Amino acid sequence: MSKADKLFVNMCKDILENGYSSEGQTVRAVWEDGTPAHTIKKFGVVNRYDLQEEFPALTLRPTAIKSAVDELLWIWQKKSNDIHELNSKIWDEWADEQGSIGKAYGYQMGIKYKFPHGEMDQVDNVIWQLKNTPYSRRILTNIYKFDDLMEMGLEPCAYSVTFNVTGNKLNAILNQRSQDILAANNWNVVQYSVLVHMLAQVTGLVPGELVHVIADAHIYDRHVPIIKELIERPQYDAPTFSLNPDIKDFYDFTTDDLIIGEYKKNPQITNIPIAI
């Protein structure tokens, strides 16, 4: 059975049974009808995924792997803040009339900085270091830039990735300030698992561990019945995953280079309410 499913179920049960409810407090988020969107949360959730062991896509419900990776490439490869360059509608409500999400996400990845080895953006710096100084303890990205926050359509949720090479294995820690567990948890896990696979392939390494650190892991009040139904579903083996081995340059990857097999999963959950 999928270890990602078991981890997800245990995390959700812990939040529901031992989490802190925001009922009675003033909260920022609201539902579409204007009702306050309360949550049950746990602070400091840490999940570990061994990418040598399995590809951590849930089978409790299908994760749209290629759509998730399309967003990842929009941020990390295209370094874009233009929703017209994205093949889904997930960012539409945070974009302005021109389709820009401001100085957020991909915009930050494209800013160039001066490094000892030259001027480049954060993505190119990671790739350069993994190829040339793989045992450095300074291989990371950070898009939570305080002087640009007021010009962002949405402050970054997943804001920092630290890469670490052990032997020939590429590991990564994904830091997230906040996460809607039902809507986004496995979406982000899948995205950054694929990123580790991609960066490992183009730098001569192999995928190791993804460690996901969530400061505020929450389940919205209107999601509780859905989560309770979800975690009682049958669990299946994780899907197989690989990349087109011919790709040697990170910027050449497309979603067509993802090879996903034997993905047995439960039916999709539709019409999930999203707090804004």
Q: Is 68 annotated as a binding residue?
A: no
Beta carbons of 213 and 43 less than 8 angstroms apart: no
pLDDT for 1 equals 84
Q: Is 220 annotated as a binding residue?
A: yes
Per residue in 173-209, pLDDT (tens digit) is: 999 999 999 999 999 999 999 999 999 999 999 999 9
Sheet strands (E) in 143-205: 158-166, 169-176, 179-180
Q: How far apart are the first and last CA of the chain?
A: 35
pLDDT for 24 equals 95
The secondary element (H helix, E strand) that includes residue 267 is none
Beta carbons of 236 and 263 less than 8 angstroms apart: no
DSSP-H helix ranges across 27-180: 65-76, 106-109, 122-132
Q: Is 48 annotated as a binding residue?
A: no
Q: Is 137 annotated as a binding residue?
A: yes
Q: Tell me the C-alpha distance between 59 and 2, whole Å.
A: 7
pLDDT for 208 equals 98
Task: Output the CA torsion 95→96→99→100 (10° steps).
Answer: -70
Per residue in 101-147, pLDDT (tens digit) is: 999 999 999 999 999 999 999 999 999 999 999 999 999 999 999 99
Domain segments of the chain as ranges: 43-215+238-261
pLDDT for 271 equals 87
Q: Is 28 annotated as a binding residue?
A: no
Per residue in 211-242, pLDDT (tens digit) is: 999 999 999 999 999 999 999 999 999 999 99
Please determine, for residue 49, whether its predicted confidence score (pLDDT) is greater than 90. yes
CB half-sphere exposure, 79, CA atoms < 13 A? 14
pLDDT for 45 equals 98
Percent of the chain with pLDDT over 90: 97
pLDDT for 276 equals 87
pLDDT for 43 equals 98
Percent of the chain with pLDDT over 70: 100
Beta carbons of 44 and 212 less than 8 angstroms apart: no
Q: How many CB atoms lie within 10 A of CB 43?
A: 11
Please determine, for residue 162, whether its predicted confidence score (pLDDT) is greater than 90. yes
Q: So what CATH class is 43-215+238-261?
A: alpha beta
Q: Tell me the C-alpha distance between 31 and 73, whole Å.
A: 29
Question: Is residue 157 among the annotated active site residues?
Answer: yes
Q: Is 121 annotated as a binding residue?
A: no
Q: How many CB atoms lie within 10 A of CB 41?
A: 21
The residue annotated as part of the active site, out of 157, 231, 272, 274, is 157
Q: Which tokens sit at 210?
A: 């993804």
pLDDT for 37 equals 97
Q: Tell me the C-alpha distance between 209 and 48, whole Å.
A: 7
Higher-pLDDT residue of 274, 132: 132
Q: Is 219 annotated as a binding residue?
A: yes
Average pLDDT score, the chain: 97
Mean pLDDT over residues 35-51, rounded?
Answer: 98
